Amino acid sequence: MPDGSATAHIYRPKIFTVLVEGYNLNCFRRDMLAALTVAIVALPLSMAIAVASGVSPERGLYAAVIGGFLVSALGGSRYQIGGPAGAFIVLVAATATKFGLEGLLLTVFISGCMLTLIGLLRLGSLIRYIPHAVTVGFTCGIAVTIFASQLKDLGGLRLPGAEPGQLLPKLAMLGQALPTLSPAAFAVGAGSATLIFLLRRLLPNWPGMLIAVVLASVVVWMFHLPVETVGSHFGQLPDGVPPPRLPSFSTSSVLDVLPAALSFTLLGAVESLLSAKVADGMTGRKHRYNMEVVAQGVANVASAIFGGISVTGTIARTATNIRAGACSPISGIGHSVFILVFMLVAGPLASFIPLSTLAGVLVVVCWNMAEKEDFLLLLRDWRGASVLMATFGLTLIEDLTFGIIAGCMLAAAFGIFDRIKRRQVHS
């Protein structure tokens, strides 16, 4: 089986290659089964990520439907699944808080344009050289930050004011709000997370997240538990995707959101190419990195136009797609279609989902996102540990972009020092 190395640099969506090579009914059946499997995982996750990001749950579904479709249709990977990602929660939440929904959509739109430009300028290959310690550091930092952001909904806490974005002030306010803890909300949220972990261990092929969300919704509805739900907080979800509309913008608004858009662009490129690289490792294939970045850019532009949040390649859903037997990008297209069908047919049922259950889902996501083994392994070498902890600490204390830049600069300084030292030895 060719790995695609000879064509990895070209601009041609993988779906064209698949169709040229020959696509049969057996592959279509496998793709549709994988699409349904991934959609079952993506449904609760897309809503949970949107809620955690400070926007209504349908914004995550729009991103999964529109963005996910385009990532697969135009992408440079056979197996990549695109959609809202947990790694973006902190950035999206901060942007939505500072600039509102219109500012967020404008940020996603500009980020999409930047990603497309990066791909067209053949800069996608450069992003792959970000040091492993930096990747592990910011991924673990994001996981901790997301976990902290879910404590409010997980425990049904009532805060005295707006929840701070910074980690330490956030934890201080959550500590003050502990007396308002809702036993019912905490039981539902913690029980949902526990059930997902158990199902993953005992019945790994079962859709644990969907089962937990459905059971929690039924329990809260049957016993009339005093737990806030999607319906009570956001109202009923729309039964479809809205018509396309460009985000409103002006010169001043573009300049205001530009730093956030740069952060979105950096994270989106890193996450999507990292996910595609994981897919390569699982399948022996080779993704087309510049084509993949172009597809991510187009997907984000379209997601913003249809009111969705940021889109990127998602490692967990991509791995699920591969394990479910996918043959081609048609499985990713199919997963978006299945999510759209859910919105059209069963959207009103989403109003019964408890917010604490969605928080429980994201607790599981945080645990899976954190690269715990790699983190501990990197701590054994003082240089790797220095880069790791600089990235990790600054991601927590400052922000993601600051952490990545600092980690890359420190790794580069070590590399330059080693090169100078080798020259002195040989001279």
H or E element: which one contains 312? strand 312-313
For the chain, state the CA radius of gyration: 21
- Give the C-alpha separation, 275 to 318, whole Å: 7
Enumerate the β-bridge partners of residue 312: 83
Question: Please, are residues 48 and 362 in contact by the beta-carbon 8 Å criterion?
Answer: yes
Structure tokens at 77: 């990977």
Where the chain has pLDDT below 70, the residues are 1-10, 128, 427
- Give the C-alpha separation, 127 to 289, whole Å: 9
User: Which of 364, 99, 53 minimizes the C-alpha distance to 234?
Assistant: 53
- Give the C-alpha separation, 48 to 216, whole Å: 14
Question: Please, are residues 86 and 48 in contact by the beta-carbon 8 Å criterion?
Answer: no
Contacting residues for 20 by C-beta, under 8 A, at least 6 apart:
none
- Give the C-alpha separation, 183 to 359, whole Å: 15
Contacting residues for 189 by C-beta, under 8 A, at least 6 apart:
153, 154, 155, 354, 356, 357, 359, 360, 363
- Give the C-alpha separation, 403 to 392, whole Å: 7
Q: What are the helix (H) ranges across 132-166?
A: 132-155
Q: What is the pLDDT of residue 4?
A: 52
Cβ atoms < 10 Å from Cβ of 275: 26
CA angle 61, 336, 324 (to 5 degrees): 120
- Give the C-alpha separation, 119 to 288, whole Å: 10
User: Which of 383, 402, 382 minimizes the C-alpha distance to 392?
Assistant: 402
Question: Please, are residues 313 and 276 in contact by the beta-carbon 8 Å criterion?
Answer: yes
- Give the C-alpha separation, 305 to 296, whole Å: 14
Contacting residues for 396 by C-beta, under 8 A, at least 6 apart:
141, 144, 145, 167, 403
Which residue is it, tokens 């294939």? 285
Q: DSSP letter at 229?
A: B
- Coarse DSSP helix, strand, coil percentages of the chain, rounded to the nearest 5 percent: 75, 0, 25
- Give the C-alpha separation, 227 to 403, whole Å: 37
Q: What is the pLDDT of residue 347?
A: 78
Question: Please, are residues 116 and 298 in contact by the beta-carbon 8 Å criterion?
Answer: yes
- Give the C-alpha separation, 303 to 60, whole Å: 10
- Give the C-alpha separation, 407 to 110, whole Å: 25
Q: What is the pLDDT of residue 310?
A: 95
